[in-house]
Structure 1
Amino acid sequence: MIFKNRSIFYSLVAAVGTLLFPLTAHTATIAGWSNANLNVNAAVLADGPNTGTLSRGSITYANTANAYNSSNWALATEESAPSFNGKYLSIEVSTVGFTGIKISYTDQRSSTGPPNSKIYYSTTGSGGTFTLAPSGNFTVATTGTNRTVDLSSIPALDNNANVVFRIHSWGASASGGTFRVSSLAVTDAAGVTPPVSNTGPISSVKAAADGSQWILTSGTVTSVGGNTNRRGFTIQDATGGILIDNNASLTYTVPAVGDFVNITTGTKTTFSGAIELQPTSNAAVVIVNSGNPLPTPQTFLTVDSFLASSTATVQSNYIRINNVFLGGSVPTGGGTTTWLDATTTGGVNYLLTSNGVTSVSLRLTADLGGTEATWQAKARPAVANSTDRFDLFAVSTVFAGALQISLNSPVGTTAKTDSTGPIRAATIPASAKDWERYD
């Protein structure tokens, strides 16, 4: 698996769907909202071509055709950034692949609505610092006024997955006074735009060029690397699995096994033979629901047949290898009768074999996702005992171009085998002769 010079190894799996955007240079809309879709009491996703969300703070929906209209704005006093006391509209957008950012919209107020409006921006998401945009202070009329805010002088907004705009209005003479926006679009002045969107499964992501940008990748998590270090996990669909790997700067909450997750923006990369999709922001990791079943494992009858499979195809897949045992000797950090000793929290390699000759590394990762105590207490099969066999359910991983297998979660109980855990009773009795094991 992947150490990334930190001795960190992740493995995992889930189900997925995806959009790839090849990049070509020319000016274009990054995210736009059709007026016909704006009259809703909810957040509104951009029509495209890129991702974007328009939403309200604590202001109130007002029913108006072809506009995003709201009441309950600030009365006499202008509110302070970044919270604006909830009196704002929010526009979240990824500008990855674009430069020279502009935002345009039409605003209008009712007779008792707020006559004052300012637009602010953040380059670090909704929890970041909000700065008044250049020439972003407006007087709002009771008839529609077109606004274009040129932000091309602010390079921090270029190629950024965490751009957020907030429009704050105040001075309403009544709480029922309204302020609306329509014809909303975020554009680039001189960047690149994805002219074609190609849908495809995980296999398409894995086959794509490194550095390619993908959006809306979804899947069910089968194993996790925990909330420390790189926060890795993998997802899998009918075409295979892929590692979701943090670039070490993000702090998103790692989903649990069985969670269905959307990766809303990500970059395809490869490290030491391992194919990865790196989320571009904390907000790009979205847990949709929980408690989903794991995919059917790809089954191998022997370690030899597993090692003979295509590394590119099988890596990050949820797998099953039948009738295996632990070869070699107890590794440093392994317990006398348990998988880990009382002081070791991970980063331990066993050897997994079918015949005592060919073996593959069976690794308890350095980041066990909070399951360290279970592995320290969980009884393990004997080492170098060809009759103490089990069926293994785990995730195939890669390091330095070679296949490995990861054990981290779920671990089941502290018993040696579990009916649903990664270590299960062998399907062929331990008393069977060797030739019977491979029929």
Structure 2
Amino acid sequence: MKHVEKMISARWIIPVEPDNQVLDHHTLVIHEGRILDRLPTAEAERRYQADSHRRLDRHALIPGLINAHTHSPMTLLRGLADDLPLMDWLQNHIWPAEGRFVAEDFVHDGSLLAAAEMLRGGTTCFNDMYFFPETTALVASQVGIRAAIGLIVIDFPSRWAANGDEYIAKGLEIHDRHKGNALLSFCFAPHAPYTVSDAPLKRLVTLANQLDLPIHMHIHETAHEVNEATARFGVRPLERLAGLGLSGHHLMAIHMTQLQPAEITHLAQAGTHVVHCPESNLKLASGFCPVQTLLEAGVNVALGTDGTASNNDLDMFGEMRTAALLAKGVSGNAAALPAHTALRMATLNGARALGLADDIGSLVPGKQADITAVFMDDLECRPVYDPVSHLIYTCGRHQVSDVWVAGRPLLRDRQLTTIDEADLHRRIGIWQEKIARADHQTVAE
């Protein structure tokens, strides 16, 4: 009998690889932070002796969810000035609040709140884009959540950097300082085609190739953006970016609600990844990403929440359900984007987009033990005919009971193990009062 650190047994294991497989009464064997074995529970108990054995007889184990696009510090702006036209919302509320408050303390507490929310919702890895990325990296490391840190680039000055060259220089310094941290990976994060000029984009292409890092960028988010770019540059944003060399497997294109057939073909041929943020797109009336057409063309499509200022939550269960339902409604095909595809988009497809599929995104031996346990025995969930279907169409994040990252328990029986919830509540209350007061003053002016 082989000695190992831990075993986790469950009623169902849904490994994502191979696709659409459900394993009854199976166990994950975990050692040194990785999945050593996956086998029937009775056999696991004969072959292994573990320091700890967690038995979850009414649960499903799934890979930790991957939020492939968010702005984590913006949790502090959740619900600020909802239900307004986009430019009114941005110019009169969000941008003034950011201009007044965004600094290290804002980013620290917002990232901490985001990490708490994501872990309680079964998310074990997030891909971020915001100012002061080194602070978000520090929070992720302290909490133990996995993070792809976006090294933001924008033409405009902020409290963090003055111009494109300084953004890139500071981002490279953060990458070099933390590249040995197993919980952190990095992406270049130019904000959007309309906020980043040609020179820094060309430099990022060179650096991405040299360092083998993804490039994470909002692209074709709204019709207004595409029309404005076409008038300014004479071509649509995707064509401009391709002309700069910014396409291919390094590119993670966020939103993509405005796509023509030839552009979808180009994305598939180039190996570009698309990150779909359905609830944010719906709330801001940005349009519909043609997910089913992209998938049929062979494009890797992942899921993200966007920030809570434009979504109001970081709930990947909600995104999976909305993505599946929206794809059916937009395509007119009830078989479009089935449940197992939605789950893969929120796990393995996100890992592929981030260049992390060798380590996370599915529950197979050799990968990191990033695991989410979902309680499936509430009355609201009974009966269970198909656990994968239930995860997407019935379950919610409140049914996540336990979360592990690299085998470390970060949520146990709904309790966070590395975050002081009482202290976090206190911190957020202070921010709420300050931001609300400032927003009222801005509107009054």
Q: TM-score range by the shorter chain?
A: under 0.3
Normalised TM-score (structure 2): 0.24
Structure with greater helix percent: 2
Normalised TM-score (structure 1): 0.25
User: Which of 1 and 2 has greater Rg?
Assistant: 1
